[in-house]
């Protein structure tokens, strides 16, 4: 019997949900379909959950949820946020992922959505579908007792209740989101779920975490963090506890002020923070930046351009210029030659018959789109070709941003 790719209905969603949890080996989360079905009711009704069926059995999952992403210049661009992508171990190598992806691209293009994006579980999978590596994030560890700031930092940090943290965090995040290329909206009761106030079994879990808010001198929340201390050993009768921390900060001062609060906490000898931006200028506010030890840097957001004109016109560019880009796309959505004129004030783009300045595959355009990469660097590894002398240098000045993009929210 052939595999059928179709939209998942509300009655099928619980099976879809369990298959996705099995695919990610989250076995204890099976059975949460009714809870998630309520959270994502609008997306399910819009037909944005896609399943692969072998008879009546779900053997592949693909969510193509609607959101917006902030791009350089601050515009919020419609995007299809792809998540929950799995193929059953029993049905690999049958073209299921390719078929689900094709259906999702067609759905997004028909809806006029210019971008698709995802956070891949593995690097090699999605480049062949036209996605390009667009943002990185980092993980840092801190030895608490050795850290210090170069000068006193303003503001205060206070413990708050989970509901207070949600309220403050939402305000902080919205300001961060509109100013940060790569950031998406947090929908579907994200904050309440993150705080442990909204759970699948109705039992709040907010008491498992500590919640803090940083306020500036005017009392405005500028950063939030939550963490869970973990008891370690007591060698020599000295406490050796650690913590895993999640934080959002509007600026460098807010970030380091929250870090300072953590490294000055009694009984906490070390802590780790993941999902940090790739921009590490905040370390200059530390007496010894080497004590902020980057343990990992990893790719997060991958971008797939579906409508080149709409995508290029949506963002601004660091430097003024005009480029003719030849984009290759085996799926056809982005394929063509495009004339781009842009600068800090905005851009225009249109299809063109001119001789191109640069030739690049659609995944390279996705990698360049949010501003992380230099076109010249990608060209050195064969991911773009300069057809006109000076075109790569101009692309660097236009596309690359001074501050790298940052996804902020995983989905």
**What's the rounded Cα separation, in Å, for the pair 107 and 47?**
9
User: Is residue 126 flagged as an active site residue?
Assistant: yes
DSSP 8-state assignment for residue 388: S
Neighbour-count burial of 274, counting CB atoms closer than 10 A to its CB (0-12 exposed, 13-18 middle, 19+ buried): middle
User: Of 411, 410, 407, 323, nearest to 69 (Cα)?
Assistant: 407
Element (H, E) at 76: strand 76-87
User: Of 336, 319, 139, nearest to 246 (Cα)?
Assistant: 139
Q: Which of 62, 211, 369, 411 does the annotation list as catalytic? A: 411
**What's the rounded Cα separation, in Å, for the pair 411 and 409?**
6
For residues 296 and 275, the answer to whether their CB atoms sit within 8 Å is no
Helical segments of 126-268, H only: 162-179, 190-194, 252-263
For residues 327 and 338, the answer to whether their CB atoms sit within 8 Å is yes
Q: Which of 126, 129, 131, 211 does the annotation list as catalytic? A: 126
Tell the residue number behind the tokens 């990469």, with chain if given. 373
| Neighbouring residues of 380: CB distance < 8 A, sequence distance ≥ 6 | none
**What's the rounded Cα separation, in Å, for the pair 356 and 89?**
44
Where b means 16+ CB within 10 Å and e means fewer, 390-403 reads ebbebbbbbbbbee
For residues 349 and 340, the answer to whether their CB atoms sit within 8 Å is yes
Sign of torsion over alpha carbons 96, 97, 98, 102: positive
Helical segments of 264-353, H only: 308-314
The phi and psi torsions of 241 (rounded to 5 degrees) equal -95, 155
User: Is residue 298 flagged as an active site residue?
Assistant: no
| Neighbouring residues of 313: CB distance < 8 A, sequence distance ≥ 6 | 346, 347, 348, 349
Per DSSP, the residues of 193-223 read HHTTSS-TTS---GGGSEEEEEE-TTS-EEE
Query: Which residues are known to be catalytic?
Result: 126, 411
């Amino acid at each position: 019997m052939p595999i059928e790719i179709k939209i998942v209905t509300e009655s099928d969603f619980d099976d879809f949900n369990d298959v996705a949890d099995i695919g990610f080996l989250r076995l204890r989360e099976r059975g949460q379909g009714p809870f998630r079905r309520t959270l994502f009711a609008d997306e399910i009704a819009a037909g944005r959950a896609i399943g692969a069926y072998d008879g009546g059995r779900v053997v592949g999952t693909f969510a193509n949820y609607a959101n917006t992403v902030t791009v350089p210049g601050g515009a919020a661009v419609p995007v299809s946020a792809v998540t929950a992508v799995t193929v059953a171990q029993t049905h690999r190598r049958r073209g299921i992922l390719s078929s689900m992806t094709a259906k999702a691209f067609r759905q997004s293009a028909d809806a006029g959505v210019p971008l698709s994006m995802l956070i891949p579980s593995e690097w090699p999978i999605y480049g062949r579908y036209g996605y390009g590596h667009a943002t990185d994030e980092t993980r840092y560890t801190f030895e608490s007792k050795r850290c210090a700031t170069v000068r006193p930092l303003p503001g205060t940090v206070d413990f708050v209740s989970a509901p207070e943290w949600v309220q403050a965090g939402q305000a902080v995040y919205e300001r961060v989101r509109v100013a940060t290329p790569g950031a998406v909206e947090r929908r579907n009761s994200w904050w309440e779920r993150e705080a442990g106030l909204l759970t699948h079994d109705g039992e709040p879990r907010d008491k498992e975490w500590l919640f803090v808010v940083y306020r500036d001198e005017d009392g405005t929340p500028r950063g939030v963090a939550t963490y869970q201390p973990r008891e370690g050993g007591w060698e020599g009768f000295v406490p050796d506890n650690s913590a895993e921390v999640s934080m959002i900060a509007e600026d460098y001062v807010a970030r380091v002020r929250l870090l300072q609060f953590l490294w000055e906490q009694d009984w906490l000898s070390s802590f780790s923070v993941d999902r940090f931006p790739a921009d590490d200028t905040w370390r200059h506010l530390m007496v010894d930046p080497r004590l902020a030890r980057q343990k990992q840097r990893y790719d997060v957001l991958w971008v797939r351009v579906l409508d080149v004109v709409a995508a290029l016109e949506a963002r601004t560019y660091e430097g003024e210029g005009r480029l003719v880009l030849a984009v290759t796309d085996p799926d056809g959505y982005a394929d063509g030659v495009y004339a781009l004129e842009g600068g800090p004030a905005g851009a225009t783009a249109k299809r063109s018959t001119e001789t191109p300045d640069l030739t690049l595959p659609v995944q390279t355009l996705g990698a360049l789109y949010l501003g992380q990469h230099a076109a010249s660097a990608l060209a050195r590894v064969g991911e773009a070709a300069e057809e006109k002398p000076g075109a790569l240098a101009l692309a660097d000045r236009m596309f690359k941003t001074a501050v790298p993009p940052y996804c902020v929210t995983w989905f």
